[in-house]
Structure 1
Amino acid sequence: MLGYKVPEPDEAMLVSGGKGANGAPFRVVTGHGAFVVPFFRKARFLSLSMAESEVTEACVTRQGISLNVRAVIAFKVGNDTESIVNAGQRFLSDQNQMAVLVGRIFAGHLRSIVGSMTVEEIVTERQRLAEGILDGSKEEMAKIGLTVDSFQIQSIDDMKLGYITAMAAPHNAAIQRQAQIAQSQADMASAEAQQQSARAQAQYVRETTIVQAQLAAEVSAAKAKADQDAAEAEQTAARAKAEFQRQTNVVQAQYDSEVLIAKAKAAQLAAAAEQESQRAQTEFNRHTAVVRAKAKAEVDRAESEASQSGPLAQATAQREVLAAQTELATRNGDLRQQQLVAEVVKPAEAEAERVRILAQADAEKTRILAEAAASNNRVSLDQLLIEQLPQIVREAAQGLSRANVTVLNGSEGLGELATGLVGQGMTIFDTIRRGLTTGPPPAPPADGHKQLD
């Protein structure tokens, strides 16, 4: 808009052509815009940003020693209206003059404060020097509308007089002396540590050699003991194998004997049944022949009487013939029944008895085989474990001989180690044997018959 002006965030707009607040010759506008009447009002801008001034000044201390002091001042126009009015009246036409004037002001105060201090105080108490300069220049800076943000003394130089160097010499000497003492102590400690390390290494080598020699001797003893244990285990295995073979032979002989007895009984019963059948058949044949002969004789006699007698006699004879034939048929039925008993029932009973005896024999065989199998499994497992026990002991001894082991308690520790290995193998052996010994009993025969004693 024509005549409306807005200052930058780091600027103050000074509107002249009228009175400002509090009797100021112009109006100050910051942070917002304002309408400036053309031809009647005029607006100009004053920077509120930070500026820097560098001061390098030759100063004389209270001791009369010349020092070249270099300092940097960071300053700006104050934010309040009074400061802006003061600064605008002095620097609006040439704002670069602010840095020059500030440098001259601080140079004068720097010479004044340095002249009241010694070199030692200036070098060791720079903060005190800076605070003195700031306090001395504060009133003058406020009059011209400026504030100091920072004042830093960058360097202090005695212009090659050597005073500052000489002042630091005692401290340098003390520091170097302490450094030499510390270095000597460190060298001494390092030498002692090296000697201690050499002694410890020699002691370690000696103890290692002794332990290795003891270990080799103990390994040899353990290997010999393992070989002896292996030989004893092989003997035990041979004895167990012989005992197993003996028990197997005894069980097989008992089984064969019982089978032969059962077969003999069955054959004897079959022969007796056959003889009974043949005897019954012979008796039947004989009885049949006698009955047939008697019947024929009576029939012949009746026919003869009938031929000699009359019709009544013939009828009587025929009745007697029929009676004789009926009796003959009855006797034939009885003989047939006896024949069936002799030919079918007796052989069937004999066969049933034979089957029963064979079933009992098979059941006894099954029981004996089950007992033999259980005994065989126990003895076989005993034999297998005993045969493997020497190999286990040998492998443990060989592994121990190749192992990089440090035995703390000497031969006693190695003996305990070998004894522990053999003891663990025997513990496993006894555990498996007890498991087989307390196994489930053999199942009863499938046919339900009582086993033979």
Structure 2
Amino acid sequence: MRCLESAEVTYYRGNDLLPSTGIVLKNVGKSIVRILDIDDLSTHSRHVDQIQFQVPGCFHKSPLLVPGGRVFVWPGIQRVERMPLNTMTLIIESPRIYTQLGVPITVTGVAQVKINGSNQEMLAAACEQFLGKSENEIREIAQETLEGHQRAIMGNMTVEEIYKDRKKFSKAVFEVASSDLVNMGISVVSYTLKDIKDDEGYLRSLGLARTAQVKCDARIGEAEARRDAGIREAEAEKQRVAGKLLNDIEISKSKRDFELQNAAYEKEVQSRKAESELAYELQAAKVKQQIKEEEMQITVLEKTQQIQVEELEIVRQERHLDATVRKPAEAERFRLERLAEADRLRLTAEAEAEAEAIRLRGLAEAEALKAIAHAEAEQMAKKAEAWKNYQNVAKLDMVLQSLPKIAAEISSPLTKCDKVTMICTGEGDIGVSKLTGELFTIMNSLPNLIHTMTGLDIYKNIKTI
């Protein structure tokens, strides 16, 4: 018997009988069926729902995967196993998971997953992983996988990031879970963050801060709205008042035109009436009018002349002001300027004269000093010449004449002392004799001192006299 691995056959639903030549299926939808080589496949009535077939090959051929379609199944030789391909809705709840900053929150997500029947590799992987398992078992495996990835993403994000950017969190879970579940043949159709709960009050604190900010913004917006409304009301009131004033002006103009026109009509009527009934009075009125006009002209002329007189008075007052105030002020200013200039010239001349006097005085003092120096030089020269002509006797005479003066100068300090205290610790004279002896000692040393300084030997010259 030849095994047909795939062919178009008739679909039997409900209590339809499978023919003895094989299982006939049609429009099989979204379940998977695997057919194995066994001998106990019955041919009685069967109920086949939406399935996908996997038919093992006959005579050592590879199995056939049928994700919807038709196939012959040999009774007693092959067995059909089913695996659902419909979309499964999973509620992923992660209770009290610590986020990046250590805040525990509970996150609930909703995922839509299904076994991908359009990709042969993923379909084969799904058959390998889940064939023979119920839908609840497949659902549990997918749910555990998604929850693990959801926990991992929560640990890498802060509460603020998860709360404020749900799309980012959902995208991260979707991408990580998809790359893992695809190896099982399961594709993640969608993932949505459904709910975030917080037992510690962290989200409530964030909400309170945001609520306070929103209320503050609302109050600010309300105040700004009131301000704008007041501005618009004031602007509208301004436009209303301006419009009312314009309307009043137009009404006044209309009244004026009406009254003028009415007066003109009245004048014309009265003129005609006067012409017809009171010609004399009209003529008298005309004369009076002419008189009034003449009077007005006279008044205008008088006003004109008065204006001219006032203008002349203004000119006169200005000239009087020039003569009595401005001119004297200018003359006084000119006088003060001349006086200041004269003082400046006088001070300059005095300073120059003083400088000249100082210069001349300096020259005179210089000449005097020069003359004094010259006289002293001549005197010194004459003294030097005289000293050359002096003999030792004359020199001795000068020295002897100077000795009393020297003695007086030596003893003069003693005349200024109120009290003299003398202390003697050795032998010899004491008292006044001691002091007198010391003075004579000083006087006796003078000849030797003079001989040392001038070369004149007083003792020798005295002996030669």
Question: Which structure shows the higher helix fraction?
Answer: 1
TM-score by shorter chain over 0.5: no
Question: What's the TM-score, normalizing by structure 1?
Answer: 0.45
Question: What's the TM-score, normalizing by structure 2?
Answer: 0.44
